[in-house]
Structure 1
Amino acid sequence: MSDIREICLKAFEDKFGTKPTMQEYAPGRVNIIGEHTDYNGGFVLPCAIKYGTCMVAKPNGTNTMRILAVDMNNDYDEFELASKIEKHPTKLWVNYLRGVSYQICEKFGDKVKGLDIAIKGDVPPGAGLSSSASLEVCFGHLVSNAFDLNIALMDIALMGQAAEAYIGMKCGIMDQAISANGTKNHAVRIDCKSYGLTQVAVPSNLEILIINSNIKHQLVGSEYNDRRESCEKAAKIIGVPLLRDATMEMLDACKDKMDDETYRRARHVITEDERVLEASKAFEAGDLKTLAKLMYASHISEKNDFEITVKETDAIVDIVKEALGEEYAAVRQTGGGFGGCVVAVVEPKNVEVVKNAINAKYQKISGIGATIFETQACDGATFTRL
C-alpha cells in the first residue's frame, strides 16, 4: 500500500495545494468458493487481499465533494451533498461515490460536509477482484470517520451494495462485506442472509494464488442481472424467499414446473452453498485433497449450470490441474464471471510449479499472457489521521 499512498499524497498536494489530514484504505477480495450465492442469501468464503484503494482527504469547508481520480488520468469531479444526487452521465467511477454519498446524506443530513479527496488503487480493474467494492467501502469508511458518524462496517457494506444498484448492478453483499470486515490471516465465511461472519484461519501449509486471465469482465449489464432473475424465478416456483432456503429435493420436486436453464441456475446455487460449508472446514484444516475436489466441482458448476466461465479461465483451471494432479489442484474461476481471475490454493512448494505451467502454456491457448500474484489474507477498511 505504501506505493499508492505516496502517489496519492503527491497528487493531493498538486491538485489542492495543501496536505491531507486523513487517510483511508480498503482492500479488494478474492473468493475462495461460493459464487453467485450471496444475492441468494447463501454462504461465501472470501478473503481480503493485499491490493486495494487508498484515499487521502481533508475537509474543505463547503458542501461539495471534490474528488481526484489518479488512476483515471487525474480525472476530476465534484458534486454537492444531498439526499438525492444524480448520476454523472459519463464518469462511472464517481457514480460509485455518488451512490454512497446520497445514502449517508439521507441518514446524517448536515453532519456530512465536503471533502477534498485523492484516490489511487492497485486492484486490477475488470479482474473480478472487487475494485468497485473497495472504492465504495473506502469512501464510506472515510466519510464515517471524518465526521464521527460511527457507521457500522456492515452498514457501510450495505451502502456500497446499494450504490451498485444505483448504477445498475444488482449484486450481492459479499464484496463490500469482506472489504469492510477482512481479517489478517483469515478468510471470512459470510452468511449472506443473517450477515453473520465466521473467521476461517488460513493454514500455514497453504498459499493463495490469483491468476488473472486478463480477459476483462464488465458486470454492469444483462448477463449478471439475468442470472439473478433466474434465481429469483426458481425460488418463487419452489415457494421459498431465497434459494438459500431450498434443498435439492425441493428443487427436483419442482423441476417439471421450470425450464432447464432456470433449473440449472438454481442447482448451481443450492449445491454451491453446500460446497462452501464443506470447504470452510477443509480449508481451515489444511485438507487440500477435499478442498481441491470441492473447488473443482464449483468450477464445473459455474461452467455448466451457471454458464459464467470463458474459455480462457477454463484453460487456466485445466493447466493448473495438469501441473499439480487432480488431487492437489484446488482451483476454480473466482468472481462474478465472464472473464477475470482464477484462484488456486496450493502448497508453498507448488507456487512456482503453477507459475511455470501458466507461463509455458496459457499464451499459446489464449493469445495473451496471464498475470499471477500471491496474496495474504488482509485486514479490511482502515482509517488513519495524518
Structure 2
Amino acid sequence: MKWFVPGRLEVLGKHTDYAGGRSLLAAVDRGITITLEDSDKGFRASTTAVPGELELTPGTPSELPKGHWGNYVQATLDRLHLNFGELKPARLVIDSNLPLASGMSSSSALVVAVALAVIDHNDIRERAEWKANIHDDIDLAGYMATMENGLTFGTLEGLRGVGTFGGSEDHTAMLCCHEGKLTEFTFCPIEEGTSVDLPAEWSFVVAVSGVLAEKTGSALESYNNASLRARELAEAWNDATGREDAVLADALASDEDALEGLRAIAASDEGLTKRLTAFVTESEVAIPQAVKALQAGDFEAFGRAADLSQRNADEQLGNQIPETNRLQALARELGATASAGFGAGFGGSVWALVKTEGATAFADKWLAAYVAEYPKVAETASTIVTRPGGPARRL
C-alpha cells in the first residue's frame, strides 16, 4: 500500500498551537510518499534519500544517533505498539520531495506517513480502543502529535516521543487542510475555523535559508524553551488566581481583564513578558487581521499582517535569525505582496506570496539576491514554488 502525506505551510501561527492559540495553515503540494510491503520478520525502513536499511523493533530502543530520521519511525512504531499491541512485520520505503529541516515539517510528515501505513496494515481503526478515542481527522491529528511530544491522548497512554514539547499544528495541517485554501485552526482542543480560498493567480514561493532548523539538533533547547515559557505563564496565572487553565489561551479567555492580569504576573521577568506579547500579537492580532484581509481580497492588508508577524517573531518571540529576517525583507523589496518566516524558527524558511505567472522568476531573483549577501549558504539555500494542496491520502 502507499500513502502520500503533504508538508505544511504555516502561513501565520508561530509557536501558538501548544498554547491553545490560532494558526493559519495550508497543506502543500509536496510531501512524503510511503510504501508498505509485507515482511517475514520485524520492521525494515529505508529512504530514497540515503543508502541502507534500518532494522527496527517496536518497543525496543534503536540506539540510533540523535537527529537520525529513523528515530521518528521508531517513536511512531513504539507508540502504536504500546497502545494497540503487537504489530505485523512490514518493510517501509520512504520517498520525499520536501526540503529537509526547512520548516515545512518533513519530520512530522514522516511520523504521519509511518503511522497511517502501519495503522492500515494492522486494521487498527477497527479496534475498540481506537474507536473510543479517535472519531475524526481532528482527533487523529491530535493523537499523532502525541507520538512526537509523548503525551497521553484520551485513554491511549503516552510514551517518550522524540523530545519536542510541541503541539499539533503540523499534523492538523497535513490531515485536515483543504486544497486551494488557507484554513484557520485553534488548538487545545483542535477546532477548525475559517477557510479562505487562495485564487489560482497567487502562489507561495518558499525560500529555504540554508540554516538548518532541526528540532532534534542544536535548535532543540531553544525550540522547547518557547514552549516551556508559555507553560510557565499559564502555571503562574493559575497560582495567582486559583484557576486550573490548561494553556495560555484558556487563561486569556477566562476574563476580560485577564491580559492585564497576565502582564502584571509577567512584569518582573522580561522573558515571560516577551513570550506573552509574542503570543497575543500573533494569535489575537496578526492572524485575525490576516483572515479578515483575505476574506476581503485585500492582499496589501494581508501583507501588513504578515509584516507584523515577522517583527513580532524577531523582537518578542526571538526565534528569527539574521538570514530569515533578511529573506523576509528582500522578498518585500523585490515586490512580494506578503512574506514571513515560518515553522519552529532558529533557522528554516520564509514564504513570499506572489503572482503565479511570475513566481519562478521571482524565486530565482530572490535566491540570487540572498546568496549574494550570504554566500556561505550557497550550497544549501534553495527555493520552491507551491500552492495549497490536499490532505494526506492513500494512493
Please give the TM-score of this superposition, normalised by the length of structure 1: 0.85
Amino acid at match of 1:67: A
Equivalent residue, structure 2, for 1:172:
167
Equivalent residue, structure 1, for 2:26:
47
Equivalent residue, structure 2, for 1:105:
81
Amino acid at match of 2:83: K
Shift of 1:205: 4.2
State whether residues 140 and 156 of structure 1, in contact with CA within 8 Å, keep that contact through their aligned partners in structure 2: no
Equivalent residue, structure 2, for 1:339:
347
Deviations 1:320-361 (A, max 9, x none): 22222xxx6311111110111101223346535643542442
Amino acid at match of 2:236: I
Deviations 1:266-286 (A, max 9, x none): 110111111223312322443
State whether residues 203 and 283 of structure 1, in contact with CA within 8 Å, keep that contact through their aligned partners in structure 2: no
1:69 to 22, 31, 47: 47
Cα 1:43/1:87, change in 2 over 3 Å:
farther
- 97-106 or 125-134: bigger deviation: 97-106
Task: State the alpha-carbon separation in 1 of the partners of residues 31 and 360 from structure 2.
Answer: 25
Cα 1:357/1:66, change in 2 over 3 Å:
closer
Equivalent residue, structure 1, for 2:181:
186
Task: State the alpha-carbon separation in 2 of the partners of residues 289 and 36 from structure 1.
Answer: 24
Amino acid at match of 1:281: K
1:36 to 15, 19, 25: 15
Amino acid at match of 2:366: I
**Does 2:388 match 1:380?**
no
Amino acid at match of 2:97: D
Equivalent residue, structure 2, for 1:244:
249
State whether residues 360 and 385 of structure 2, in contact with CA within 8 Å, keep that contact through their aligned partners in structure 1: no
- 279-288 or 163-172: bigger deviation: 279-288
Amino acid at match of 1:160: M
Cα 1:98/1:378, change in 2 over 3 Å:
same
Other structure's SS at 2:388 match: coil
Equivalent residue, structure 1, for 2:370:
362
**Does 2:140 match 1:140?**
no
Deviations 1:103-147 (A, max 9, x none): 22233224x311111111111111111000110111111112222
Please give the TM-score of this superposition, normalised by the length of structure 2: 0.83
Structure 1 portions without partners, runs of 5+? 1-21
CA RMSD of aligned residues (A): 2.1
Q: How many residues end up aligned between the 2 structures?
A: 354
Equivalent residue, structure 2, for 1:88:
63
Amino acid at match of 1:31: E
State the identity %.
22
Shift of 1:170: 1.2
Other structure's SS at 2:124 match: coil
Equivalent residue, structure 2, for 1:279:
290
- 314-323 or 146-155: bigger deviation: 146-155
Shift of 1:159: 4.2
State whether residues 200 and 356 of structure 2, in contact with CA within 8 Å, keep that contact through their aligned partners in structure 1: no
Equivalent residue, structure 2, for 1:163:
147
1:294 to 295, 302, 305: 305
State whether residues 141 and 381 of structure 1, in contact with CA within 8 Å, keep that contact through their aligned partners in structure 2: no
Structure 2 portions without partners, runs of 5+? 131-135, 150-160, 239-244, 253-257
State whether residues 45 and 276 of structure 1, in contact with CA within 8 Å, keep that contact through their aligned partners in structure 2: yes
In the TM superposition, 1:225-236 aligns within 5 A as 225-236=224-235
State whether residues 9 and 104 of structure 2, in contact with CA within 8 Å, keep that contact through their aligned partners in structure 1: yes
Cα 1:87/1:36, change in 2 over 3 Å:
farther
Task: State the alpha-carbon separation in 1 of the partners of residues 197 and 182 from structure 2.
Answer: 6
Shift of 1:154: 3.8
Other structure's SS at 1:237 match: helix
Task: State the alpha-carbon separation in 1 of the partners of residues 64 and 331 from structure 2.
Answer: 42
Deviations 1:156-196 (A, max 9, x none): 43343233232211111111121122321122222112211
Amino acid at match of 2:234: A
Task: State the alpha-carbon separation in 1 of the partners of residues 362 and 48 from structure 2.
Answer: 34
State whether residues 340 and 352 of structure 2, in contact with CA within 8 Å, keep that contact through their aligned partners in structure 1: yes
Cα 1:142/1:259, change in 2 over 3 Å:
same
State whether residues 88 and 94 of structure 1, in contact with CA within 8 Å, keep that contact through their aligned partners in structure 2: no
Shift of 1:38: 0.7
Equivalent residue, structure 2, for 1:23:
2
Equivalent residue, structure 1, for 2:104:
129
Task: State the alpha-carbon separation in 1 of the partners of residues 355 and 102 from structure 2.
Answer: 24
Other structure's SS at 1:254 match: helix
Task: State the alpha-carbon separation in 1 of the partners of residues 5 and 356 from structure 2.
Answer: 27
Task: State the alpha-carbon separation in 2 of the partners of residues 208 and 223 from structure 1.
Answer: 27
Task: State the alpha-carbon separation in 2 of the partners of residues 356 and 103 from structure 1.
Answer: 43
Other structure's SS at 1:291 match: helix
Equivalent residue, structure 2, for 1:223:
222
Task: State the alpha-carbon separation in 2 of the partners of residues 260 and 361 from structure 1.
Answer: 36
Task: State the alpha-carbon separation in 1 of the partners of residues 213 and 230 from structure 2.
Answer: 21
Would you identify which runs of 4 or more consecutive aligned residues in structure 1 move more than 6 Å? none
Task: State the alpha-carbon separation in 2 of the partners of residues 283 and 347 from structure 1.
Answer: 15
2:321 to 307, 310, 314: 310
Task: State the alpha-carbon separation in 1 of the partners of residues 371 and 121 from structure 2.
Answer: 46
Other structure's SS at 1:302 match: helix
Other structure's SS at 2:148 match: helix
